[in-house]
Amino acid sequence: MSFTLAIVGRPNVGKSTLFNRLVGRKLALVDDQPGVTRDLREGEGRIGPVRFTVIDTAGLEEVTDASLPGRMRALTERAVDSADVCLFLIDARVGVTPVDRTLAELLRKRAPRVILAANKAEGRAAEAGLIEAWELGLGEPLALSAEHGIGMDDLLRALEPIAAEFPDAAAIFEVDVGDEVDDNVDEEGGGAALPAGRPIQIAVVGRPNAGKSTLVNAILGEDRLLTGPEAGITRDAIAVTVDWMGTPFRIFDTAGMRKKAKVQAKLEKLSVSDGLRAVKFAEVVVVLLDVQVPFESQDLRIADLAEREGRAVVVAVNKWDLEEEKPQKLNELREAFGRLLPQLRGAPMVMVSALTGKGLDRLHTAIVKAYAVWNTRISTARLNRWLAAQTADHPPPAPAGRRIRLRYMTQVKTRPPTFVLFASIPDAVPEDYKRFLVNGLRRDFDMPGTPIRLYLRSGD
């Protein structure tokens, strides 16, 4: 017997979308009583190696206040009672609503295990909602995008300990590392296998001709042409999974990857939005510069976007083989980097030649390190010892004579590292003091190059 997972949440948070992703094609409609449009749906779900029964309460009417109408309550209770674990979805873009609070209360009382997830978490608009989700008192929220298949690896990790209690939940699966073009990302999050060592999701972005396809092909190890621009137009993304120097990577498409494909003209139009989309899917963004035209405005825009989206960034300067004055050029590049991309201070910059393969080992190391830094988790105890030392040396200013007390700090999420600082008058904490704290965190906890978020909240 495997376990049963119930997807619960108010209407429109994405339950059906997630259900369909987990169940894939083998969708079954059950319990479809006459007179009721849709009731509990049930199907066989799979994520990575874990198999389970999934039930979903989708199809309920929207409610506007905190009181759950009878039908919604009854159905949710029934789902909760039949499930071993509840996956509680909120909409990260909307944040926590009164109905969410009521459902959270119900789950806290009634459900044996609850996993909290903030759906629609692709992109920056979701950040505040994700942090709000902590208020529900159900632990760390997962950031998911049911529609785009983001966060399925985190969901898998959350389900693994539960699967371990149900011996039949784990199925044998094949690792798809080194496969052909994976052109069905749509089903990937749910149905398809995730390798045992989770792939690091990367995107290679940069101007046309920077050498993106050459680099991706070098990583893939052969001159494999990735075809199928139609795929890119109709689907969210294409990706290829590969084992590169012993590490599994999933590389998301950019126009560059598909430039040799059939519909050349359309690709030109696609290139910018494509790069932007690849950034949303990626965990680590490799900004590929051409040493002959480095730090062009397009490069700067996409690097800035990657930072704002909270991705780890590695800057790679390509065509280094063409450079004759290497030491001098290196100095110039460092200076330009610091001046033009101050928001990425400390991010690694690696010189490579995609054509000759030189420097690719260093690029690999930089990506793996950036990914690790992006995943940094600091205990609350360490953070507060650190905060006490910082504020002793360098207390916050007292604007207009009002003393700001900094009470307590906690890391609310990783990827990128995100912290909440509780202060007596949060609005009075000046930007430069926040920057001082962020720089201190970066320095003292060894987090170079990764975006760090710091939010202030009021607290006593």
CA dist., res. 325 & res. 335, Å (int): 16
Q: Is 147 in contact with 17 (CB distance < 8 Å)?
A: yes
Question: For residues 22 and 378, which CB has a smaller minimum distance to ligand GDP in the complex?
Answer: 22
State in angstroms the smallest separation of the CB of 161 from ligand GDP.
Answer: 24
Question: For residues 144 and 437, which CB has a smaller minimum distance to ligand GDP in the complex?
Answer: 144
* Structure-token pair, residue 48: 């990575």
x/- letters, 233..272, toward ligand GDP (CB under 6 A):
-----------------------x--x-------------
Applying CB under 6 A, what is the total number of residues that bind ligand GDP?
Answer: 33
Q: Roughly how many angstroms between the first and final C-alpha of the chain, as a whole number? A: 48
Q: Which of 76, 102, 318, 411 binds ligand GDP (CB under 6 A)?
A: 318
The residues pairing with 3 across neighbouring beta strands, listed in sequence order, are 52
Q: Which of 43, 45, 129, 211 binds ligand GDP (CB under 6 A)?
A: 211
Q: What is the largest CA-CA distance in the chain?
A: 78
State in angstroms the smallest separation of the CB of 51 from ligand GDP.
Answer: 22
Question: Does the protein bind ligand GDP through residue 15 (CB under 6 A)?
Answer: yes
- Of 119-127, 293-301, 326-334, 336-344, which part binds ligand GDP (CB under 6 A)? 119-127
Q: Which of 4, 14, 133, 240 binds ligand GDP (CB under 6 A)?
A: 14
State in angstroms the smallest separation of the CB of 296 from ligand GDP.
Answer: 12
Q: Is 284 in contact with 310 (CB distance < 8 Å)?
A: no
| Radius of gyration, CA atoms only, the chain | 24
- Of 7-15, 99-107, 109-117, 391-399, which part binds ligand GDP (CB under 6 A)? 7-15
The residues pairing with 5 across neighbouring beta strands, listed in sequence order, are 54, 85
Within residues 277-316, the interface with ligand GDP by CB under 6 A covers: none
Q: Is 430 in contact with 399 (CB distance < 8 Å)?
A: yes
Within residues 50-79, the interface with ligand GDP by CB under 6 A covers: 58
Question: Does the protein bind ligand GDP through residue 410 (CB under 6 A)?
Answer: no
Question: Does the protein bind ligand GDP through residue 319 (CB under 6 A)?
Answer: yes
State in angstroms the smallest separation of the CB of 126 from ligand GDP.
Answer: 8
Burial status of residue 243 (CB atoms within 10 A of its CB: 0-12, 13-18, 19 or more): middle
Pairing of strands 3-8, 41-47: unpaired
State in angstroms the smallest separation of the CB of 98 from ligand GDP.
Answer: 17
Question: For residues 248 and 256, which CB has a smaller minimum distance to ligand GDP in the complex?
Answer: 256
Q: Which of 2, 4, 17, 53 binds ligand GDP (CB under 6 A)?
A: 17
State in angstroms the smallest separation of the CB of 170 from ligand GDP.
Answer: 27
Q: How many helices (H) and strands (E) does the chain have?
A: 14, 15
Which residues contact residue 431 at a Cβ distance below 8 angstroms, ignoring those fewer than 6 apart? none
* C-alpha torsion 192→193→195→196, nearest 10: 150
The amino acid that residue 430 corresponds to is P
Question: Does the protein bind ligand GDP through residue 12 (CB under 6 A)?
Answer: yes
Question: Does the protein bind ligand GDP through residue 8 (CB under 6 A)?
Answer: no
Q: Which of 354, 368, 383, 406 binds ligand GDP (CB under 6 A)?
A: 354
* Structure-token pair, residue 319: 């065509």
Calculate ∠ Cα 176-312-191, nearest 5°.
25
Which residues contact residue 94 at a Cβ distance below 8 angstroms, ignoring those fewer than 6 apart? 129
Q: Which of 214, 241, 390, 411 binds ligand GDP (CB under 6 A)?
A: 214
State in angstroms the smallest separation of the CB of 268 from ligand GDP.
Answer: 11
Question: Does the protein bind ligand GDP through residue 209 (CB under 6 A)?
Answer: yes
- Of 36-44, 191-199, 347-355, 420-428, which part binds ligand GDP (CB under 6 A)? 347-355
Candidates 445, 444, 421; CA nearest to 433 is 421
Within residues 143-162, the interface with ligand GDP by CB under 6 A covers: 145-148
Q: Is 60 in contact with 71 (CB distance < 8 Å)?
A: yes
Q: Which of 63, 175, 355, 428 binds ligand GDP (CB under 6 A)?
A: 355
The residues pairing with 454 across neighbouring beta strands, listed in sequence order, are 419
Residue-wise over 57-72: b if at least 16 C-beta within 10 A, else e? Answer: bbebeebeeeebeeeb
Side-chain-facing half-sphere of 55: CA atoms under 13 Å: 22
The amino acid that residue 257 corresponds to is M
Question: For residues 317 and 452, which CB has a smaller minimum distance to ligand GDP in the complex?
Answer: 317
Binding site residues for GTP, as ranges?
A: 9-16, 56-60, 119-122, 206-213, 253-257, 318-321
State in angstroms the smallest separation of the CB of 8 from ligand GDP.
Answer: 9
Binding site for ligand GDP (CB under 6 A): 9, 11-17, 58, 119-120, 122, 145-148, 206, 208-214, 256, 259, 318-319, 321-322, 353-355
